[in-house]
């Protein structure tokens, strides 16, 4: 059984811990290493690794300190180069080439974002669970079978975003960037409809914008669409 814990979610930082009870991993590490250590009860050395999606600081802030502390980080060549990290604790991964971490088989795949070499991850566990981590992408061109856990970005809703542009609280330039680089609620719904949800036990909505989303509405609408247990990352009770 996979357990998911949200350490941070949003533009100020993203970091999620997943574990099978034996081999804990972090999905991104966009908060200070000291905070991660505290959140993990100073047992960060027990991590089997950190999977890094891309170079933006809200997803990789702690990489250098993690590597210095002896934790292995997995990232694309472009991400590692952008961060200036190397050495035996930095493992370069390639899109659509599987690799193993203990009982996990990990498949990186390309995402649509304004960062070179940005990737998502499909993690299959030897015991049968299958987890998808999909964040900071305008959409996903892949389809997945047999998922049990879905962690997916739901950054904004078009109607909220457009109203904020009209009100002047969101610049048009930011709206245009979000549309090209982040996944909105409407796109998430289309993605979920297009995929096999038969085995899904949990859906986690990630990286909600503080201005352009509504967590209660997003949770309600995804639950109504899927009939699954839905958590909003960062909310009380969803960590």
Question: What is the 3-class SS of 146-183, one letter each residue?
Answer: CCCEEEEECCCCHHHHHHHHHHCCCCHHHHHHHHHHCC
What's the CATH code of the domain at 65? 3.60.15.10
Contact 63, 50 (CB under 8 A): yes
Residue 16 domain-assigned (yes or no) = yes
pLDDT at position 238 is: 38
In this predicted model, what pLDDT tens digit does every residue of 58-80 receive, in sequence order?
A: 999 999 999 999 999 999 999 99
The whole-angstrom separation of Cα 96 and Cα 58 is 24
Mean pLDDT of the chain: 96
Residue 239 domain-assigned (yes or no) = no
Residue 238 domain-assigned (yes or no) = no
Residue 92 domain-assigned (yes or no) = yes
In the chain, the number of structural domains is: 1
| pTM exceeding 0.75 | yes
Q: Residue 146 corresponds to which tokens in the numbers above? A: 């047999």
In this predicted model, what pLDDT tens digit does every residue of 183-237 receive, in sequence order?
A: 999 999 999 999 999 999 999 999 999 999 999 999 999 999 999 999 999 864 3
**Domain assignment of residue 83, given as a range:** 3-232
């Amino acid at each position: 059984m996979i357990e998911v814990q949200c350490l941070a979610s949003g533009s100020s930082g993203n970091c999620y811990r997943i574990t099978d009870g034996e081999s804990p991993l972090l999905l991104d590490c966009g908060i200070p290493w000291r905070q991660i250590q505290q959140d993990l009860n100073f047992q960060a050395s027990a991590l089997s690794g950190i999977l890094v999606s891309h170079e933006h600081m809200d997803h990789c802030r702690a990489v250098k300190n993690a590597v210095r502390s002896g934790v292995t980080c997995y990232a694309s060549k472009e991400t590692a180069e952008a961060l200036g990290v190397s050495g035996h604790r930095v493992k370069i991964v390639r899109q659509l080439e599987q690799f193993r971490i203990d009982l996990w088989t990990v498949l990186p795949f390309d995402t649509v974002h304004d960062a070179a070499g940005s990737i998502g991850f499909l993690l299959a566990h030897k015991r049968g669970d299958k987890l998808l981590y999909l964040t900071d992408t305008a959409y996903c061109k892949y389809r997945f079978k047999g998922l049990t856990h879905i962690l997916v970005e739901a950054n904004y809703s078009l109607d909220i975003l457009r109203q904020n542009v009209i009100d002047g609280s969101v610049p048009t330039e930011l709206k245009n960037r979000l549309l090209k680089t982040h996944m909105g609620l409407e796109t998430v719904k289309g993605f979920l409809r297009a995929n096999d949800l038969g085995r899904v036990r949990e859906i986690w909505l990630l990286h909600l914008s503080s201005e352009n989303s509504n967590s209660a509405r997003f949770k309600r609408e995804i639950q109504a669409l899927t009939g699954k247990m839905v958590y909003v990352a960062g909310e009380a009770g969803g960590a």
